[in-house]
A and B are shown apart, each in its own frame.
Chain A
Amino acid sequence: MDNLIQTIVVGLSVGGIYGLVALGFTIVYRSLYVINFAQGHVFMVGSFMGYIGFSLTSRYPVSIFFIVLVAAAMIAVITAFLVYKKIHRADHLTFAIASIGVGMIMENMVRMVSPDAKKYPDVFGEKVFTIGNIYISKQYMWILGITLALITLLQLFFYKTKFGKAMRAVSENRDMASLLGINVTHTVYATFVISSVVGAVAGILIGPIYFFSFDMGFMTGLKAFSAAILGGIMSVPGTLIGGFILGVAENLGGVYVSSDYKDAIAFALLIFMLMVKPTGLFGKRQ
């Protein structure tokens, strides 16, 4: 029983990471109706920048955290300026291929600097909470806390601020929003900046749990994309719940069914869920 609860808690925090990366897919899809397959790579780059920052000094973790987020935002602006801005109106397949290209560029640039897996510096402390026979590392608490805080902030941004409302207007009707004086190009940039920052947060959070390596982006991206689809890619809370379900299912499957087929379980679950509910758990019919 204790083992079960512990597995679920670990699954929830890994799921939180999937949820955050998945949120990047959701934010872009909601406003531009395209899939950014470089999202997992943005997560990896965020993790890498965090690694560099925390290796330099461990004295100002909060400042480093925010510097990394600013850097992630700058990368988003650059890629949006060079590539995404030009093709966000194209066919979704065209955009998918171009974003796969962008992802390959990111992955191999990081690979040139850091070809081996690296142990992440310990940012959150190593304290372990004990409740009965359940051991929960402090890191997992941080992951869950930051994930939930970020989701709340994003919801507030989309529904309470003027700019957030403008972004939603663009996603509903781009031409009409443009006629009403909303700068569509700015919202395109904002979309990629937000999704990139969220991805970078996830990258920093996962660092202390796993090793960092240049090739971790694609697989995490795929799983996060499944989580987004699972929860319904149009809904922010749905996406996060999709991430939690995927994380928990994967960990339970890995512990109780077969660790060899851990990833297969996650994907089989996804296919099954899509058969039962083709638009995702919280998706609305379009």
Chain B
Amino acid sequence: MQEKTLRSRMIIALVAILLLLLPAFCGYYVLHIIIFSGINLITVLGLGLLIGFSGQVSLGHAAFYGIGAYASALLTVKLGLSFWIALPLAGIIAGIAGVLLAIPSLKVAALYLVMTTIGFSMIVWLMMLQWSGLTNGPNGIIGIPFPAIGGWVLDSPAKYYYLILVFALAALWLMSRIVRSAVGLRLMAIFDQEEAAQAVGINTTYFRVLAFVISSIFAGVGGSLYAHYVTFIHPENFNIWVSISFLVMAVFGGQRSIPGLTASVLILTFATEYFRVFGEYRMIGYGLFLAVGMIYFPRGIGTIKLASPKSLLARLLRSKTG
């Protein structure tokens, strides 16, 4: 027992050192992708909570991500606020948007929720594109300032990496707390047995909206971090494909598995970036990856950890014959 905790502590320390020293090993490009992975992870964790724990599927998370990004960008560029004030405000604004969508969506069944979220995200996207007075239309917003701590401006990937590291770890910690908390348990109860959950006095409406709001706040914070990293945003950064890629990451990660979500975000973000050179073939490959992945791992890669290589082989064989 003593030895085991010592070993796990050593592993944690090793991972921590590795994460801290990562910018020294990695090239500019790899670091860039890792930063994107961190930003995606924050959003996908929120979406994972919504899908895996409350059973609500959103195909419009790019809207909340985009609202966070635009809110943060406009607050810093037009009002001159500091990043440290704009970031929480971006989260709050995205959260309010989440309430606005969640309340009318309460009445609709699971399948129809997919549609209302798509509709919402199309409307938000069109507003980014057409409401030029506020959003500057298709030209987007340029010159979004880098965050600064005191006088230290985080203007390079190596510096920004640490900011993302802190936020991604905080998001992971927060999400694992939420999942194990009374809120998480109640959400799972509602998902698994709605009538039973109601019978024991759980306010299903309240917890559904809560899950939606938490997940849109995560997306809003992710969007804000994105805006201040790339410093230039335009509506195409938040179109329906972005929503789809978030959904794919969340589903591929496996329901109710935080390590699965993390692995899936890393794999898919790296895959999308590295396959960029292949042009159209990349998208064909990505499509194949989704279709084949869903055939062999219908519950996402979060379930792999339970399977030894032998049983994995058995599963492949079974799916061939069956």
Closest to A95 in B: B294
Q: Which residues of A lie under 8 Å from residue B126 when comparing CB positions?
A: 260-261, 263-264
The residues in A between 90 and 141 inclusive whose CB is less than 8 angstroms from any CB of B are: 90-98, 100-105, 107-109, 111-112
Closest to A228 in B: B115
Most buried by A among B104, B119, B292: B119
Most buried by A among B115, B127, B295: B115
Most buried by A among B104, B252, B294: B294
Closest to A99 in B: B291
Question: Of B119, B244, B247, B280, which contacts A271 at CB under 8 A?
Answer: B119
Q: By the criterion CB–CB under 8 Å, are B116 and A274 in contact?
A: yes
Kindly state the separation between the CA atoms of A275 and B298 in the bound complex, as whole angstroms.
32
Q: By the criterion CB–CB under 8 Å, are A275 and B295 in contact?
A: no
Q: Which residues of B lie under 8 Å from residue A90 when comparing CB positions?
A: 294, 298
Question: Of B240, B251, B288, which contacts A97 at CB under 8 A?
Answer: B251
The residues in B between 286 and 307 inclusive whose CB is less than 8 angstroms from any CB of A are: 286-295, 298-299
Closest to B290 in A: A101
Task: Please give the distance in Å from A53's CB to the nearest CB on chain B.
Answer: 23
A-B contact count (CB 8 A): 124
Q: Which residues of B lie under 8 Å from residue A218 when comparing CB positions?
A: 240
Stretch at the interface among B3-11, B79-87, B105-113: B105-113
Provide a sorted-by-A list of 19 A–B residue pairs whose CB atoms are within 8 angstroms. A83-B291, A93-B51, A98-B291, A102-B287, A103-B287, A104-B283, A105-B283, A105-B284, A108-B281, A229-B112, A264-B122, A264-B127, A267-B118, A270-B115, A270-B116, A271-B119, A274-B108, A279-B109, A279-B112
Kindly state the separation between the CA atoms of A95 and B290 in the bound complex, as whole angstroms.
10
List B residues at the A interface (Cβ < 8 Å). 51, 57, 104, 107-109, 111-112, 114-116, 118-120, 122-123, 126-127, 130, 240, 244, 247-248, 251-252, 280-281, 283-284, 286-295, 298-299, 319
Q: By the criterion CB–CB under 8 Å, are B286 and A101 in contact?
A: yes
Q: By the criterion CB–CB under 8 Å, are B115 and A97 in contact?
A: no
Task: Please give the distance in Å from B247's CB to the nearest CB on chain A.
Answer: 7
Task: Please give the distance in Å from A76's CB to the nearest CB on chain B.
Answer: 15
Q: By the criterion CB–CB under 8 Å, are A100 and B248 in contact?
A: yes
Q: Which residues of A lie under 8 Å from residue B247 when comparing CB positions?
A: 97
Q: By the criterion CB–CB under 8 Å, are A226 and B115 in contact?
A: yes
Counting from the closest, the 4 A-B pairs by CB-CB distance are: A101-B290, A104-B287, A267-B119, A101-B291
A-B contact sample (6 more), CB < 8 A, given A98-B295, A264-B122, A274-B107:
A83-B295, A94-B294, A261-B126, A263-B122, A267-B122, A271-B119
Q: Which residues of A lie under 8 Å from residue B120 when comparing CB positions?
A: 267, 271
Q: By the criterion CB–CB under 8 Å, are A222 and B244 in contact?
A: no
Question: Of A101, A280, A286, which contacts B289 at CB under 8 A?
Answer: A101
Kindly state the separation between the CA atoms of A109 and B286 in the bound complex, as whole angstroms.
12
Q: By the criterion CB–CB under 8 Å, are A275 and B57 in contact?
A: no
Kindly state the separation between the CA atoms of A280 and B283 in the bound complex, as whole angstroms.
34
A74 interface residue per 8 A CB criterion:
no
Q: By the criterion CB–CB under 8 Å, are A93 and B57 in contact?
A: yes
Q: By the criterion CB–CB under 8 Å, are B240 and A222 in contact?
A: yes
Q: B-facing mask of A248-284, CB < 8 A → 1, else 0?
A: 0000000000001101100110110011001110000
Kindly state the separation between the CA atoms of A278 and B292 in the bound complex, as whole angstroms.
34
Q: Which residues of A lie under 8 Å from residue B298 when comparing CB positions?
A: 87, 90-91, 94
Task: Please give the distance in Å from A222's CB to the nearest CB on chain B.
Answer: 6
Closest to A111 in B: B280
A35 interface residue per 8 A CB criterion:
yes
Q: Which residues of B lie under 8 Å from residue A102 when comparing CB positions?
A: 287, 291
A233 interface residue per 8 A CB criterion:
yes
A86 interface residue per 8 A CB criterion:
yes
Kindly state the separation between the CA atoms of A112 and B291 in the bound complex, as whole angstroms.
20
Q: Which residues of B lie under 8 Å from residue A212 when comparing CB positions?
A: none
Q: Which residues of A lie under 8 Å from residue B107 when comparing CB positions?
A: 274-275, 278
Given A91-B298, A93-B51, A97-B294; A229-B115 close (CB under 8 Å) = yes
Q: Which residues of B lie under 8 Å from residue A274 when comparing CB positions?
A: 104, 107-108, 112, 115-116
Kindly state the separation between the CA atoms of A108 and B248 in the bound complex, as whole angstroms.
18
Kindly state the separation between the CA atoms of A107 and B283 in the bound complex, as whole angstroms.
9
Task: Please give the distance in Å from A275's CB to the nearest CB on chain B.
Answer: 5
Q: Which residues of A lie under 8 Å from residue B244 when comparing CB positions?
A: 100
Q: Which residues of B lie under 8 Å from residue A261 when comparing CB positions?
A: 126, 130
